[in-house]
């Protein structure tokens, strides 16, 4: 009974938003980039305000309606990058954004919306031989799942070498099937400018759905970090260095090996040095001016891993064994980084640190990321600023070397579904660390040592001789 009620409430929450059809899409172009292990989609919309009065809001639904993937990031610009759009999530995958200026009746506006989603690629067949080429199936709505009428619609797939589309049956729609429009024209694909195109088609009614599958060759691994613990250890003294340690739980969500892993086949095929093989054997981490991976190290639960090298612009790491679909590997990477420009002193005691959200491996996606800041002992956390939304923030203390009071202040910020490009995004943290609290710690440690020495001296005064 409770299940039915909650289902009904959920249904209402999706359905209750009564979107006024005050826009009409003159042009609606979807471009889907399939070259990576996640999907980058760009939607170009040119819309006209068909209302009588000026309108400053547009409802945008991630154009799918098939509820089977996770959104990482959504961003958009208005009229050729004139302004950045701010999205507000109304319900599951339905966003509203406010335009910088209301658009007059019968006037046009252009939006470019980009979003990234993941966990939507399925290896087909699920298990293949070492020498086979991996094919991925993406299930997608061939049309645009949108609240407004669309005059002209196009769909492009990019970044694939070979593909074929197939009809699929979908029985897991996001909204009530009665609301959807399944009566859609049949459109044939064509190849143009190295991309796979559908359309243009005219006059698409709102919430049009036609599930389609695209099976394409993708002989690269689908590497995913199921968990990433990124820990930033800030020093309490004035040295110009801080430490970063990252713990990864890696997997490959691509195709499985049909039989066991055969070293002979792996050696004979020379897959180790191949860039285009679906076995994940190299993790590449780009260096930057700020981060040169000083004194870096790789370890896992059985000790040091020595298969790594720093080559031009990249730190390349080979896991102990290549990862095929369903295989796992955990490791820890640590290094020192100079503060350089990333730490600013606002006043005598207040600091602000800028740090990339992640330190991304090439073509790597992340399921769950904990960004941990270990502020010096006796410091005070003030605020944190993240350009993308985090799921939660927690405060804790953790004792490290020579922590004699509460221990380091630990701030954990949790994110989900990140991808490689978010390494360009910085998180700012502001904290207070006074000279007095620093000296208090020094004093406390030295008084402990002093007490120890004095007690030793006093104990020595007691005569225990029995000879």
Partner 1 sequence: MTSTTKLKVLGINIETIKLLLQVIIFISIAGASISSRLFSVIRFESIIHEFDPWFNFRATKYLVNHSFYDFLNWFDDRTWYPLGRVTGGTLYPGLMVTSGVIWHTLRDWFGLPIDIRNICVLLAPAFSGLTAIFTYFLTTEMKDSNAGLLAAIFMGIAPGYISRSVAGSYDNEAIAITLLMATFYFWIKSMKIGSVFYGTLTALFYFYMVSAWGGYVFITNLIPLHVFVLLLMGRYNHKLYTAYNTWYAIGTLASMQIPFVGFLPIRSNDHMAALGVFGLIQLVAFGDYIKSRIPEKQFKTFLTVSMILIAGLGIGGLIGLTALGWIAPWTGRFYSLWDTSYAKIHIPIIASVSEHQPTAWPAFFFDTSMLIWLFPVGVYLCFQDLKDEHLFVIIYGVLCSYFAGVMVRLMLTLTPIICVSAAIAISKLFDVYLDLSEFWHSSSSTRTKLFTGLSKLLVLSSFTYYLFFFVYHCTWVTSNAYSSPSVVLASKNPDGSPAIIDDYREAYYWLRMNTAEDAKVMSWWDYGYQIGGMADRTTLVDNNTWNNTHIATVGKAMCSSEEVAYDILKQHDVDYVLIIFGGVIGFSGDDINKFLWMIRISEGIWPDEIHERDYFTERGEYRVDGQAPKAMQESLMYKMSYYRFHELFMGRDAVDRVRNQQIPIQNAPELSVLDEVFTSTNWIVRIYKVKDADNLGRDLKKASAFGKNSKKTRIAKKPKIDLRE
For residue 415, list its beta bridge partners: 369
Give the footprint of partner 1 on this chain (CB under 8 A).
Answer: 259-264, 267-268, 300-307, 320-321, 326-330, 399-404, 445, 466-467
- 352 burial via Cβ count (<10 Å: 0-12, 13-18, 19+): middle
Residue among 4 and 466 whose Cβ is closer to partner 1 = 466
CB of residue 259 to partner 1, shortest distance in Å: 6
CB of residue 72 to partner 1, shortest distance in Å: 26
CB of residue 329 to partner 1, shortest distance in Å: 6
Residue among 51 and 398 whose Cβ is closer to partner 1 = 398
CB of residue 445 to partner 1, shortest distance in Å: 8
Residue among 2 and 304 whose Cβ is closer to partner 1 = 304
- 159 burial via Cβ count (<10 Å: 0-12, 13-18, 19+): middle
CB of residue 181 to partner 1, shortest distance in Å: 46
For residue 420, list its beta bridge partners: none
Residue among 129 and 176 whose Cβ is closer to partner 1 = 129
Residue among 305 and 369 whose Cβ is closer to partner 1 = 305
Cα separation values, 246 from 250, 273, 333, Å: 12, 26, 5
Residue among 195 and 330 whose Cβ is closer to partner 1 = 330
CA–CA gap between residue 261 and residue 276 (Å, rounded):
18
CB of residue 70 to partner 1, shortest distance in Å: 24
CB of residue 279 to partner 1, shortest distance in Å: 13
CB of residue 298 to partner 1, shortest distance in Å: 11
Residue among 3 and 303 whose Cβ is closer to partner 1 = 303
Find tokens 């380091």 and name the residue. Answer: 408
Residue among 98 and 444 whose Cβ is closer to partner 1 = 444
């Amino acid at each position: 009974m409770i299940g039915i009620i909650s289902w009904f409430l959920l249904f209402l929450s999706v359905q209750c938003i009564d979107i006024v059809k005050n826009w009409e899409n003159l042009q609606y172009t979807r471009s889907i980039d399939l070259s990576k292990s996640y999907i980058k989609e760009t939607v170009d919309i040119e819309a006209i305000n068909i209302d009588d009065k000026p309108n400053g809001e547009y409802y945008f639904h991630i154009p799918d309606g098939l509820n089977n993937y996770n959104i990482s990031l959504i961003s958009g610009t208005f009229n050729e990058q004139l302004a950045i759009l701010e999205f507000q999530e109304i319900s599951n995958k339905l966003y509203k954004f406010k335009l910088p200026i209301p658009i007059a009746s019968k006037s046009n506006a252009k939006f470019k919306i980009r979003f990234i989603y993941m966990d939507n690629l399925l290896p087909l067949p699920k298990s293949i031989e070492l020498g086979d080429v991996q094919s991925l199936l993406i299930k997608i709505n061939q049309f645009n799942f949108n609240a407004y009428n669309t005059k002209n619609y196009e769909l492009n797939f990019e970044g694939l070498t070979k593909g074929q589309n197939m009809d699929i049956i979908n029985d897991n729609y996001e909204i009530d099937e009665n609301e959807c429009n399944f009566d859609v024209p049949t459109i044939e694909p064509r190849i143009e400018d190295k991309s796979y195109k559908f359309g243009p088609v005219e006059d698409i009614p709102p919430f049009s759905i036609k599930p389609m599958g695209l099976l394409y060759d993708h002989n690269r691994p689908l590497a995913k970090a199921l968990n990433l613990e990124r820990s930033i250890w800030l020093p309490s003294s004035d040295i110009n260095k801080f430490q970063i340690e990252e713990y990864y739980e890696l997997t490959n969500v691509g195709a499985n090996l049909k039989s066991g892993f055969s070293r002979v086949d792996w050696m004979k095929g020379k897959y180790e040095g191949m860039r285009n093989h679906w076995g994940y054997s190299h993790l590449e981490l780009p260096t930057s001016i700020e981060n040169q991976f000083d004194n870096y190290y790789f370890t896992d639960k059985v000790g040091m891993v020595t298969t790594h090298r720093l080559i031009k612009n990249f730190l390349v790491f080979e896991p102990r064994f290549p990862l095929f679909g369903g295989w796992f590997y955990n490791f820890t990477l640590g290094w020192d980084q100079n503060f350089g420009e990333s730490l600013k002193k606002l006043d005598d005691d207040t600091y602000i640190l800028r740090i990339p959200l992640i330190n991304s491996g090439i073509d790597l996606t992340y399921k769950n990321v904990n960004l941990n800041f270990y502020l010096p002992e006796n410091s005070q956390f003030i605020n944190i600023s993240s350009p993308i939304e985090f799921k939660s923030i927690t405060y804790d203390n953790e004792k490290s070397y020579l922590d004699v009071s509460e221990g380091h202040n630990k701030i954990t910020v949790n994110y989900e579904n990140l991808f490689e490009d978010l390494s360009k995004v910085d998180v700012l943290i502001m904290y207070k660390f006074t000279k007095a609290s620093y000296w208090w710690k020094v004093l406390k440690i030295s008084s402990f040592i002093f007490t120890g020495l004095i007690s030793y001296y006093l104990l020595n005064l007691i005569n225990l001789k029995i000879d």
